[in-house]
Structure 1
Amino acid sequence: MGEMTTIAALDGNGAIPAYVATPDGGAGAAIIVMPEIFGVNEGIRKKCDDWAAQGYVALAPDVFWRFAPGVQLDPDVPEQLQEAFGYFGQFDADLGVQDIEAAIRWLRGEKGVAKVGLVGFCLGGRMAYMAAARTDIDASVGYYGVMIDQMLGESHAIANPLMLHIPTADHFVGPEAQKAIHDGLGSHPKVTLHDYEGLDHGFAAEMGNRRDEAGAQLADGRTRDFFAAHLK
């Protein structure tokens, strides 16, 4: 269903590799799928294919293309997990937002969609928050986003709907960070927060040891309803 393509970077310095899944018969809306720190791996491609099956154009950009293009890692393999942490340390989130903007423009121009949403996981969950604050994305969803508590000063700029899924036992986003997110965003008219009691980071991964089936089904159902309300 999907294929690899490239999108011109906004600064003209290179092209962003991206996996794109297009539904049969075209689509009126698109969803950008922002990966975790493991690249556009099988799980992320499956998420794109699943969105395409629901009628959306789905695009997953290679977030590490500037320094580790094409990387695909398995979080259940310790050595690959450590490799992913290294790439995360090199990642420039400001450039990541530029890449999201490039993807938004490409989808609206090349695919002719009226609205574009974004769903992101881990690092991608942070990018969902940043996209909501810094771009005109029509709706955003973040799963277990990291470092959002350090960026709450940007929340005043969120103009379109944002939903965040927060597992309460996230070992990368601790209780203090979770409290800061709730305190900073809980009353924001454009923000919806959902807690998942006892679940850990990565609970909605498509495959592997981290997935919690019940939690993933609940969160994904909320995400589907959220996009249906705001993108169609």
Structure 2
Amino acid sequence: MISIVLPTKNEPKIYELIISIKKELEKIDEPYEILVIDKSNDDTPKKAEAAGAKVFKQKSNGLGNAIKEGLMLAKGEIILVMDADFSHDPKHIPEFIEKIKEFDIVVGSRKIPRGKVIGWGFKRKLISNIANFLAWHLAGVKVSDATSGYRAYRKIIFSKIDLNKLASKGFEFQIEILYEALRKGFRVGVVPIIFQDRSFGKSKLSKKEILNFLKLCLKLFWKKVKTH
């Protein structure tokens, strides 16, 4: 089974997104489920259910917590996590499913050939480049576009990675889970994606999230130093 996990917070196009995801999944000869981990105060849950998703109310604040909750609820052998605002194009889903046959985690990269970002200004690109530089050189997460949230995981890896022990609650969770996976010897691959900056709603990336990301990179750096 394939599980799709969608963390949501007031997503006006959630119905259309889920329909698009289902069209891509129907090209693959596998049963599937779509899980929405919701923190909305609008009609997002109602729209998601109408489109055929299972909706779960998010228990703890933060993107990282939403992803953790989704990963733990998912029943599929392959779990694909993506943004719920069309930033992550569902057309890439078959590429993830094909690529994960060779890997334990597949990250959608905007920084390799055929990958790109549409709609970011200079400042947002600079933040992304610095974040990926810190992830690679400071935290030791040597993965192209380690901050990308469009990913596929093999569920079996969570028998070795205890999600409850991952401390990150927000955006920085993307780095911590890759750090743990690489530390335990899991194989991480990449596929090119075209990232379209969210057209609806407000970006969830705040100054606090950026600061927490920096703190995590420093923490992982010292952890790496102590173990060598």
TM-score, scaled relative to structure 1:
0.37
Larger RCO of the pair (alpha carbons < 8 Å, separation 6+): 2
TM-score, scaled relative to structure 2:
0.37
